Structure 1
């Protein structure tokens, strides 16, 4: 507990020094997002509530915290928020289809020994739980990509107010191409960093490459990474189009 408090204190000091007021708001946003996730998990225990709907509502609150609370309400955060919601809705449909086809819900055979003493009849749809887990894993990356594209587009439009919508859209795409590689690689290495012990366990079990790939534990996490990468990719043109549309329209309305 003392280590956690010390690390949290160091994080707060560094974020306050480097980020100023926005850094302090970012630190507080960590706890707000944690509270939203805990409340979502709490309500998922109710069998009458749909876990996917609860996750979408949680993503709505998380997006508001990450965009409006940290960066305040402006045209950049509004367009990034709209792009995030649209991308998440599209991704939910895609993830639902993938989850039903891949059969990654539930527990893997490697986990049955440790959980054999517990009952698996908990009254929840594990397909919906799997969809909720993937959605929750992607919302942060999608929000980051959306604000990273909308912010420089707003600056470009501020310095060049007469820029055409198509040119502004192309500028947003160029920014998106620059962050696409780093974002997907971040997701990829986050997986292997967090599940390095799992890979070592597979080695101790003498799993072949085919058995590792077809393992439910491994494939579910890899599918999560792919879905997150798809979400980051989709949010780039969506954010670029929405931001270009609203900024140029705003400029036209102010001129008229």
Structure 2
């Protein structure tokens, strides 16, 4: 059901928003937030655990998007560096779509799964500790959440990098077969975009850990007192 809902959001929310002139980055953040909230709530219900994961996922996505924007600024990468830019420019001339922001919207969607995954993992672990031992303080729960998240973030970042690598395997094979010089490779737009996606996604995953650990440790004590 969550997968079907995600597809519906892309078709009936994200695409219509960018067609009406909304920035693709803003449309992506809104769509990703709706998808995250619905997916997590369908799995866990409207619980404190779900709320912690949703808030942390939103923060992690913002971090990933901001990292991509900063990386693109300093490396002169934008949505105009992609391979199919000619077709996109034609679309941009005949619609209200901001073609230059599509790349960064794609980074947000690509990072969403990994960020949501680690947020839910840590939130679930901390909630389980709280339920089994309500005497644990928020500080102790936060420390436990960090310990769990530290074990997950390394493999999750690697998973994200490998996903980007697998998605552009054809480009890497061509570069390897033609034995292009290192400086030409590292300065090519296609390689630069892959590096940007990997770094921004990894930053989002890594910094989501302390955020979700904080929410998961603090929210149960605060909301239960209320």
CA distance in 1 between partners of 2:66 and 2:205 (Å)? 16
Q: Match of 1:120?
A: 89
**By how many angstroms is 1:147 displaced?**
0.5
**By how many angstroms is 1:108 displaced?**
4.8
**By how many angstroms is 1:223 displaced?**
0.8
Q: Does 1:44 align with 2:18?
A: yes
Number of residues of Structure 1 aligned to a counterpart in Structure 2: 221
CA distance in 1 between partners of 2:197 and 2:191 (Å)? 10
CA distance in 1 between partners of 2:71 and 2:2 (Å)? 31
Q: 1:186 to 1:119 in 2, by over 3 A?
A: closer
CA distance in 2 between partners of 1:119 and 1:174 (Å)? 45
CA distance in 2 between partners of 1:96 and 1:56 (Å)? 14
Q: Match of 2:199?
A: 226
SS in structure 2 at match of 1:120: helix
TM-score (norm: length of structure 1): 0.78
The question of whether the paired residues in 2 share the 8 Å contact of 1:100 and 1:127 is answered with: no
Gaps of 5+ in 1: 1-27
Q: 1:72 aligns with which of 17, 40, 45?
A: 45
CA distance in 1 between partners of 2:130 and 2:88 (Å)? 58
Higher gyration radius (CA): 1
Q: Does 1:35 align with 2:8?
A: yes
Q: Match of 1:13?
A: none
Q: Deviations over 1:87-107 (max 9, x none)?
A: 323443333232233222245
TM-score (norm: length of structure 2): 0.88
Segments ≥4 residues shifted beyond 4 Å: none
Calculate the aligned-residue CA RMSD, in Å.
2.2
Q: Match of 1:93?
A: 66
Q: Match of 1:243?
A: 216
Q: 2:128 aligns with which of 144, 150, 155?
A: 155
The question of whether the paired residues in 2 share the 8 Å contact of 1:99 and 1:131 is answered with: no
The question of whether the paired residues in 2 share the 8 Å contact of 1:66 and 1:143 is answered with: no
Q: Match of 2:180?
A: 207
Q: Deviations over 1:30-64 (max 9, x none)?
A: 22212222331343233x32212111110111111
Instruction: Identify which range, 201-210 or 56-65, moves more after superposition.
Output: 201-210
Q: Match of 2:162?
A: 189
**By how many angstroms is 1:175 displaced?**
0.4
Q: Does 1:104 align with 2:73?
A: no
CA distance in 2 between partners of 1:196 and 1:52 (Å)? 26
The question of whether the paired residues in 1 share the 8 Å contact of 2:80 and 2:100 is answered with: no
Gaps of 5+ in 2: none
Q: 1:181 to 1:93 in 2, by over 3 A?
A: closer
The question of whether the paired residues in 2 share the 8 Å contact of 1:79 and 1:242 is answered with: yes
CA distance in 2 between partners of 1:219 and 1:85 (Å)? 25
